[in-house]
């Protein structure tokens, strides 16, 4: 049997009872930690689970799925995923490959940022399409995510922005030499995301700035959701550019232009410098 097991968001104890029982019985257990990270060390996880874990990096997950699935038809093999197994499309491919190989499988769900985002008080059913904000570099500055934020705003819906993670990314130079060397891990902060959004907004005309997004638009910053050090900050897009929310992982929310009174009341506790009633129009 192949098991795809969600670990939740906070720490090693967020795994479900069912998930933990399966981990203890498997012949091999892989830990995928490139689409997200958990707030604890590999050593602590292995001690808590009472077994060794095999690290599955990006290359193994995206190119070595057959290796992970090998033997799952005869014994139990598990892939552990931070959050929920279907929070990243990469993991869907494992299920398709298992079905092609006639390998039985089970999915053990858990909390992910997609539902835990409700911790800020914004109602989940009012969220529109989720967007991903990638790191820019000198030659690559994609901004297609802005159009999705714009569409959500026009339909009076909140936007959850998932911020880029760079783990075990090969350097451009090493790719040219065909010998992989890796850049240090990078995790986009709320401030970096706000900086890129402001750069996009600056290019827009005055009409769009008045109707869609501008430096005074309300934003919600989230850091380390589900962990003891969870942090929530509310401010303008301009203020978010200089907001330090500590270590990863961060997410950014662009709320709808009109919010429910309960949403406003809940958010106000995190907005020290502004009165949210002024933004709810």
**163 labeled binding residue:** yes
Joined together, the tokens standing for residue 33 give 């930690």
166: exposed, middle or buried (Cβ count in 10 Å: 0-12, 13-18, 19+): middle
**113 labeled binding residue:** yes
123: exposed, middle or buried (Cβ count in 10 Å: 0-12, 13-18, 19+): middle
Cis amide leading into 249 (omega within 30): yes
- Going along 96-217, which residue ranges are E strands? 105-108, 131-133, 159-163, 165-166, 186-187
**225 labeled binding residue:** yes
**267 labeled binding residue:** no
Q: How many CA atoms lie within 13 A of 96 on its CB side?
A: 6
**9 labeled binding residue:** yes
Nearest partner of 170 among 32, 248, 62, 69, judged by Cα: 62
Nearest partner of 44 among 35, 56, 31, judged by Cα: 31
Rounded CA-CA distance 7/27 in Å is 19
Report yes or no: 32 and 63 within 8 Å, Cβ to Cβ.
no
**84 labeled binding residue:** yes
User: Residues comprising the binding site for S-adenosyl-L-methionine?
Assistant: 9, 84, 87, 112-113, 163, 225, 250
User: Residues comprising the binding site?
Assistant: 9, 84, 87, 112-113, 163, 225, 250
């Amino acid at each position: 049997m192949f098991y795809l097991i969600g670990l939740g968001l906070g720490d090693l104890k967020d795994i479900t009872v069912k998930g933990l029982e399966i981990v203890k019985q498997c012949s091999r257990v892989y830990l995928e930690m490139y689409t997200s990270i958990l707030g604890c060390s590999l050593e602590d996880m292995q001690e808590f689970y009472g077994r060794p874990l095999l690290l599955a990096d990006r290359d193994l997950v995206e190119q070595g799925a057959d290796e992970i699935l090998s033997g799952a038809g005869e014994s139990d093999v598990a892939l552990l995923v931070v959050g929920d197994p279907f929070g990243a499309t990469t993991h869907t491919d494992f299920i398709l490959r298992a079905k092609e190989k006639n390998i039985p499988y089970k999915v053990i769900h858990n909390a992910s940022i997609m539902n835990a985002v409700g911790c800020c008080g914004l109602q989940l059913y009012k969220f529109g399409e989720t967007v991903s904000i990638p790191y820019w570099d000198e030659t690559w500055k994609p901004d297609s995510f802005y159009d999705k934020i714009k569409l959500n705003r026009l339909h009076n819906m909140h936007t959850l922005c998932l911020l880029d993670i760079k783990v075990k990314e090969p350097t451009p130079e090493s790719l040219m030499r065909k010998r992989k060397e890796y850049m240090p891990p990078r995790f986009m902060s709320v401030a970096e995301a706000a900086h890129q959004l402001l750069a996009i907004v600056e290019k827009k005309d005055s009409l769009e700035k008045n109707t869609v997004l501008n430096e005074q638009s309300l934003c919600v910053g989230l850091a380390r959701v589900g962990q003891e050090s969870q942090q929530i900050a509310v401010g303008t897009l301009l203020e978010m550019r200089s907001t330090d929310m500590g270590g990863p992982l961060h997410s950014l929310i662009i709320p709808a232009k009109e919010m429910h009174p309960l949403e406003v009341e809940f958010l106000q506790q995190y907005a020290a410098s502004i009165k949210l009633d002024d933004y709810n129009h």
